[in-house]
Structure formats: C-alpha cells, structure tokens
C-alpha cells in the first residue's frame, strides 16, 4: 500500500503520448514564433521612413536618395545651441532687407507694401515708427514674426526704417543701446527713432558695400527655410505649398528634385529667384530637401 501511494505522488502532468507531443510542440514552436515576431518588429522599426515608404521603395516609387533623406529627417537633432556675438557690428537696414524682407516686399506678395511704393506705405507711415517695428517683430497678416531669427530686433527695426524711407519716411537707422554694468543681462532695446538730418537724407538709406551673404547656421536647410522661405510657405501665401502639406506637394514631387531646385534658383510665380536671398545653390538645395522631407 505504501509503495503504490508513493509512486502516484511522483507522477507528472504528462500521462499520455498525446500530451507529450503537445508539450514538445509548444515548447519548441512558441519560442520560435516569438523570436520571429520580435525580429520583424525590430527590422520594421529601423526602416528609413516606415513600412509605407519601404513598400514604395520596393515598387520603385522612391529612390535611394529619398530613403536617405527619410533617415536624415528621422534622426535629425531636436534642437541646436547657437552662440552669437552680442557685440558684433549691426547690419544695415538695406542688408537686412535683402536677406530677409525682399521675398515679399519686392513683388508685393500677399499685399506686402513694395519697396519704394509711396502710396502703399502712406497709411502705414502714419501709424509711426514704433507701430511699424512692432508689426514686423510680432508679425501681421501673412507676415510671420521676424523677431528671434538671425537678426537682432534692432536690425529688424533698421530694415523697417530702410523700407519706410524709400517710400517717403524720415526715420534714422536705430542704434544698439548701451548695456549698463548694473544690468548686464537686460535685453538690448531699440533706440527711439529721430528725424533724418540733412547729412542723412530721408529717401536714401546707406548702401551696403557688398551684397550680404545669407546667414545659414549649422541647421542647414532648416535655417534657410526659417529665414527666407517660411514667410510664404507657412501660410501658403500666393499659392506657395505649405510645409508638410502632402496634397500640395504631390504634383511638385513628381517633377523630381532637380526641377524643384531649379524653380527656386530661377524663381517661379510670385517667388523671386533664390527666394530673394543670396544663398548658394547648395544652400537652396538644402532648404528644398528640408521642405520635401516634411512630406515624405
């Protein structure tokens, strides 16, 4: 009796050949399927632009360059740190205008008053210099805020004075206010405008010695986009395709990157050549790449 009871106590859960087969099957195939699923997940997660783009690439709808751009856009830095010299010489109003304002104010895009158009500037001049500068810094209508970019607020104010003076205004270029020792961290304010003297005629702002080079920082195409392209491509001014609008960009992407770059270099519709900047062809291509990557 005691031997029979002890033998039953050591009996395992597998009592028949069928149960043994099922145990062997699940112990082998379940881990295999789990490993396959894990590998598939990892591989799919590392695809340059997701499964949809991988499928397009397989079908010939995307090139290797498109895939590379997708990878670059996915791994680009979230933010950058830029160190600027607070004591650098200020750019003249004309220099700032040519680098940042000419895109819209030369052609009058989205009702922007054209440079030298006295009739268009007349009512604006009546609002006063401070109001004009405030509109430029904070943005107005289709014009995005101009503050916080590559130029100081004082330099933006200089550009406003330059444009206003070509249309009959009488504003002198603001100067950078001195920062006192008691408040070294205080923001540098724009000095109040003064009437132009006879030595500095109102209608003529000081001419730059040479055309300014477009300031493109380490951000590459994104930096140039924010400086010159965003004015129209954020709000879709003059039918400019908005950043990230896949439907608007679809027919343009069919033309291919070389044609898109050439359209920017030569100008198209309301967009002036090179977007109104002095950027190099490589910088223009980088900006186009940045905008295209947003719709991939």
Domain positions in the chain: 16-74, 92-212, 221-293
Question: In this predicted structure, what is the pLDDT of residue 211?
Answer: 37
Does 221-293 match 92-212 at the fold level? yes
> Given this model, what pLDDT does residue 190 score?
47
Note the pLDDT of residue 192. 43
pLDDT of residue 229: 82
pLDDT attached to residue 241 = 87
Which pLDDT score is estimated for 68? 66
Q: Name the phi and psi angles at 167, rounded to 5.
A: -110, 15
For 221-293, CATH number out of 1.10.760.10, 1.20.1630.10, 1.20.1560.10, 3.40.710.10 equals 1.10.760.10
What are the average pLDDT values for consecutive 10-residue runs of the chain, which has 296 residues?
Answer: 53 78 83 86 59 56 61 61 73 87 82 88 88 86 78 87 90 70 40 40 35 44 79 76 86 86 81 78 87 84
Query: Residue 175 has what pLDDT?
Result: 85
Phi-psi category of residue 141: left, alpha or beta, with phi > 0 → left and psi -120 to 50 → alpha: left
- Angle subtended at Cα 41 by Cα 37 and Cα 45, rounded to the nearest 5 degrees: 170
Architecture of the domain made up of 92-212: Orthogonal Bundle (1.10)
Separation CA 219–CA 289 (nearest Å): 12
Q: Counting Cβ atoms within 10 Å, is residue 54 exposed (0-12), middle (13-18) or buried (19+)?
A: middle
Sign of the dihedral through C-alpha 47, 226, 106, 212? negative
Q: What is the DSSP letter of 140?
A: B
């Amino acid at each position: 009796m005691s031997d029979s009871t002890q033998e039953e106590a050591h009996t395992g859960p597998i009592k028949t050949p069928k149960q043994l087969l099922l145990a062997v099957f699940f112990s082998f195939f379940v881990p295999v399927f789990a490993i396959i699923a894990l590998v598939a997940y990892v591989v799919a997660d590392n695809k340059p632009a997701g499964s949809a783009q991988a499928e397009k690439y397989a079908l010939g709808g995307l090139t290797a360059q498109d895939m590379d751009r997708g990878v670059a856009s996915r791994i680009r830095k979230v933010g950058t740190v830029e160190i600027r010299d607070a004591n650098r010489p200020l750019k003249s109003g004309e220099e700032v205008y040519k680098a940042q304002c000419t895109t819209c104010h030369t052609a009058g895009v989205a009702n922007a008053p054209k440079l030298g158009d006295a009739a268009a500037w007349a009512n604006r001049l009546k609002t006063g210099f401070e109001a004009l500068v405030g509109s430029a810094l904070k943005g107005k209508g289709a014009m995005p805020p101009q503050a916080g970019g590559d130029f100081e607020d004082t330099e933006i104010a200089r550009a406003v004075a330059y444009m206003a003076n070509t249309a009959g205004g009488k504003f002198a270029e603001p100067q950078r206010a001195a920062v006192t020792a008691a408040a070294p961290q205080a923001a540098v304010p724009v000095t109040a405008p003064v009437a132009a003297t006879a030595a500095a005629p109102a209608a003529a702002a000081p001419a730059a010695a040479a055309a300014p080079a477009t300031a493109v920082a380490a951000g590459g195409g994104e930096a140039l986009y924010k400086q010159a392209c965003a004015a129209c491509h954020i709000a879709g001014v003059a039918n400019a395709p908005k950043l990230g609008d896949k439907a608007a960009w679809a027919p343009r992407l069919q033309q291919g990157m070389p044609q898109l770059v050439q359209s920017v270099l030569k100008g198209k519709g309301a967009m002036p050549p090179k977007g109104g900047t002095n950027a190099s062809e490589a910088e223009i291509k980088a900006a186009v790449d940045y905008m295209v990557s947003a719709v991939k």
